Amino acid sequence: MKKRNVSAGASFDEALNSVAVQGWHATECHCMYYMAMQALEAVPASITDPNAQVWAKTTDRLCNCLRFSHETRSFANTGSRPR
pLDDT digits (tens, 9 = 90+) for 66-83: 777 666 555 455 454 444
pLDDT digit string, tens, across residues 25-44: 889 888 888 888 888 788 77
Q: Where are the domains of the chain?
A: 10-78
66 contacts: CB under 8 Å, gap ≥ 6:
none
Cβ of 57: how many Cβ atoms within 10 Å?
Answer: 12
What gap in Å lies between CA 15 and CA 22, rounded to an integer?
12
| 3 state DSSP class of 49 | coil
